[in-house]
Amino acid sequence: GVRVSHADNTFLSFVCQEMNTAEHYNTSINITISVLDGDDQYPQFLPCILFYLDEKSQIC
């Protein structure tokens, strides 16, 4: 897991890459999460809610 200290950093940044497709495509995405310290407690992330594009693809 990743420990988040709001005093040190208010953003989390990730680069995710997928390179194992059958078509040999390379793709990546940059994800930035803004951390809001609303109650001075440890940050918690809500569970993922799935959104379906079709039966084979899912967006969370």
Q: What is the pLDDT of residues 18-42, one digit of tens each?
A: 777 777 677 777 877 777 767 777 7
Contacts (Cβ under 8 Å, ≥6 apart) of 26: 17, 18, 19
The answer to whether 18 and 27 are in contact (CB under 8 A) is yes
Q: What mean pLDDT, rounded, does the chain reach?
A: 70
pLDDT range class, residue 56, cuts 50, 70, 90: low
pLDDT at 21: 73
Integer Cα distance of 29 and 16 in angstroms: 5
Q: Which residue has the higher pLDDT, 26 or 4?
A: 26
pTM score of the predicted model: 0.40
Which whole number is the average pLDDT over 51-58? 64
* Cα gap 50→30, rounded to integer Å: 20
From the CB of residue 6, how many other CB atoms can be counted at a distance below 10 Å? Answer: 14
Distance, in Å, from the CA atom of 60 to the CA atom of 49, rounded to the nearest integer, reads: 6
